[in-house]
Amino acid sequence: MDDLKGKTIVIEELAEYQDDSVVSREIIKKEVGTVTIFAFDTGQGLSEHSAPFDAMAQIVDGVGEITIAGNKNTVKKGELIIMPANEPHALFANEPFKMILTMIRSEK
């Protein structure tokens, strides 16, 4: 992660697509939150789960399907969606896509 600091980065090059895989690379990890880039190959995804804090998914390549509390959302390059804390959500790639996931922990 430190090798990225102070440099210009091409976002789409931070995680490469791999056949039949989900690739992730954490680029910031702090006690208060994380920033991770994901590359999903077609047919791959993350099963339904929830988190105790809001998470923002920003699509940087392709189109992703993000389901939040049973509602499917199609999110494409240049768009983002916020997954609310404690709401079940899942991700699926009908085609390859890359996203940046930003999670910030906060106290209530």
**Percent of the chain whose predicted confidence (pLDDT) is above 70:** 97
Summarize pLDDT for 45-80 with one digit per residue, the tens.
999 999 888 999 999 999 999 999 999 999 999 999
Model's pTM, two decimal places? 0.90
Helix/strand/coil (H, E, C) string of the chain?
A: CHHHCCCCCCHHHCCCCCCCCEEEEEEEEECCEEEEEEEECCCCEEEEECCCCCEEEEEEEEEEEEEECCEEEEEECCCEEEECCCCCEEEECCCCEEEEEEEECCCC
CATH 2.60.120.10 for the 2-104 domain, yes or no: yes
Domain ranges, ordered by start, for the chain: 2-104
Residue 108 has pLDDT above 70, yes or no: no
Residue 89 has pLDDT above 80, yes or no: yes
